[in-house]
Amino acid sequence: MSYVSDAKLPAQSILHDRVAPSDFLDCYSVKSTIPAREAAEIITDFPGWTNFLMRIRKAVTTPFGLLNENPTKGDAIGIFPIEAETNTEVLAGFNDKHLDFRVSVMSVDGYVFFATWVHPHNIGGKIYLKTIMPFHILICRNALARVHAADVRRIK
């Protein structure tokens, strides 16, 4: 997955309005011309190993009353309700009692960017974030690798 790179969130992202100094923000990119909505759908079409991790997460977090499914019935990508959508960006996610999170998928200048913002509310949110971080990185990088593969298939 060497074609997936750490990246800086593009300046025009609507996600910038949320970020405070103590928040978590990461961003990855891959060369691709796939539109943001289509890329977001590829990203949230999780492979089996990711779904397995999500089932483990659900088993562990349910006793603590954390959300494990889309809390709204509106437009969504995967399990994430869409908060905002432009021609170049899809912003999705929700707030929970331990943290707020959003994912941004942007398609600009021949690249797809995938960013995650997290605002922990308490020590539980901070512990949760530290615990999932290795999996988060794998999931993000794999997601963009799948976007890249879909773009390569389109070009052929």
pLDDT score of 69 more than 70: no
Instruction: Dump pLDDT digits (tens) for 97-124.
Output: 888 999 999 999 999 999 999 999 989 8
The tokens describing 8, both together, are: 């800086």
Domain that holds residue 68: 5-155
Q: What CATH number is given to the structural domain containing 148?
A: 3.30.530
pLDDT score of 73 more than 90: no
Q: Give the pLDDT confidence score for residue 47 in this predicted structure.
A: 77
Q: Give the pLDDT confidence score for residue 143 in this predicted structure.
A: 95
Distance CA 72, CA 55 (A): 20
Q: Give the pLDDT confidence score for residue 62 in this predicted structure.
A: 65
Q: Strand 99-108 vs strand 111-120: parallel, antiparallel, or unpaired?
A: antiparallel
> Can you name the residues that pair with 44 across neighbouring β-strands?
none
Instruction: Dump pLDDT digits (tens) for 16-67.
Output: 999 999 999 999 999 999 999 999 999 998 877 777 777 766 776 666 666 6
By CB atoms closer than 10 A (0-12, 13-18, 19+), residue 101 is: buried
pLDDT band at residue 80, thresholds of 50, 70 and 90? confident
pLDDT score of 77 more than 70: yes
Domain count, the chain: 1
Dihedral (CA of 33, 38, 39, 45) sign: negative
Q: Per this entry, what is the length of the chain?
A: 156
Q: Give the pLDDT confidence score for residue 72 in this predicted structure.
A: 64
